Amino acid sequence: MNVLNGASILVTGGTGSFGKAFIRKVLAEHEPERVIVFSRDELKQFEMQGDGFTDKRLRFFLGDVRDRDRLFRAFDGVDVVVHAAALKQVPACEYNPFEAIRTNVIGGQNIIDMAIERGVRRVLALSTDKACNPANLYGATKLCSDKLFIAGNHYVGDKDTAFAVVRYGNVVGSRGSVVPFFVKQRATGRLPVTHEAMTRFWITLAQGVQFVLDSLERMQGGELFVPKIPSMNVMDLARAIGPDCEIDIVGIRPGEKLHEVMISEDDARNTLDMGSHFILQPEFSWWKKRGEPHRASGTPVPDGFRYSSDNNDTWLTTAQLRDIIRPFDPQA
């Protein structure tokens, strides 16, 4: 089964790093009826069209997830929604908390309400590792959003709409990524590192896109999907980008963690190991039937399990990091 063939697909935040990569792959490898780019920045939509996004199946729709009426119009005839729009910069969210809530939380509620009203079949929302045991407002808004989307399955009634969430780590080279920052700073001969022991989950944009596509196929409605991805130490990344640079330890910023967590010990009680990924199961009665296909092929994780960037089984070496960042750094 391919849920995208013949479907009308809408991507919120479609002009972002993920949105463009996702749309490019869908148009190249699937047969959708149309793909709608939903975003609020007319310049980015114009630039996207000038960057080779000229397929006749594409539609560009200006709008904001805060605007319920605009979403109601945009969702007309839509089968699949991938929700990637969010305010993501941690310092900006800390300084503008109400704006972060309006976009990440209220915007999520609007997506859920309009998807149900318009009869959208599948909605997959993108989350972040910062939503697990959040230490900053951005993570807290995304945790709230995750809970809303999972609970959205409780509100559909006799409709066919299903909601699920994908949670993964830092995307190499995306906007806000440390990679382009380090590449730029290398010219000074010094790289600022927050803490020498800091670790992060690491995923390429292509891997993130493929995981979302796989999750769209797998979802029954109610899952929170977490991929098994490698960790990296920030010092190894600094050595990969600037091997001859001096390192300045500048201290952890407000709201920042030393290590990221994608599955906490409390979440583990309802987590299935699916081999290539994990599924966090919801604690709702309707999941007993929906979750049967996953439980048949998955294995409950052990008590006390914690999926954290510092206790990962898979780590990237400096050489592997150089291979991964080469598209963003010709000197790697």
Kindly report which listed range (131-140, 148-157, 167-176) carries the lowest average pLDDT score: 167-176
Kindly report which listed range (46-50, 168-172, 208-212, 307-311) carries the lowest average pLDDT score: 168-172
Q: What's the CATH code of the domain at 64?
A: 3.40.50.720
Judge residue 41's burial from the number of C-beta atoms within 10 Å of its C-beta, 0-12 exposed, 13-18 middle, 19 or more buried.
Answer: middle
Q: 125 lies in a domain? A: yes
Host domain of residue 94: 8-171+202-229+261-308
Give the mean pLDDT of 29-48.
97
Q: 218 lies in a domain? A: yes
Q: 288 lies in a domain? A: yes
For residue range 169-224, list pLDDT tens digits in order.
889 877 778 898 899 999 999 999 999 999 999 999 999 999 999 999 999 999 99
- What is the spatial distance between Cα 120 and Cα 104, in angstroms, rounded to a whole number? 20
Q: 315 lies in a domain? A: no
- What is the spatial distance between Cα 231 and Cα 270, in angstroms, rounded to a whole number? 23
Catalytic residue among 88, 130, 142, 257: 130
pLDDT value at residue 158: 87
Give the list of residues 6+ apart from residue 86 with CB closer than 8 angstroms, or none.
Answer: 13, 103, 104, 107, 126, 142, 145
Q: How many domains does the chain have?
A: 1
Secondary structure percentages of the chain, helix, strand, coil, to 5? 40, 20, 40
Average pLDDT, the chain: 95
pLDDT value at residue 161: 97
Residue 198 is which amino acid? M
Is residue 130 annotated as a catalytic residue, yes or no?
yes
pLDDT value at residue 1: 58
Q: 147 lies in a domain? A: yes
Split at pLDDT 50, 70, 90, the class of 168 is very high
For residue range 286-305, list pLDDT tens digits in order.
999 999 999 999 999 999 99
Q: 241 lies in a domain? A: no
Report CA torsion sign: 310, 314, 319, 325.
negative
Q: 1 lies in a domain? A: no
Q: 160 lies in a domain? A: yes
- What is the spatial distance between Cα 208 and Cα 68, in angstroms, rounded to a whole number? 28
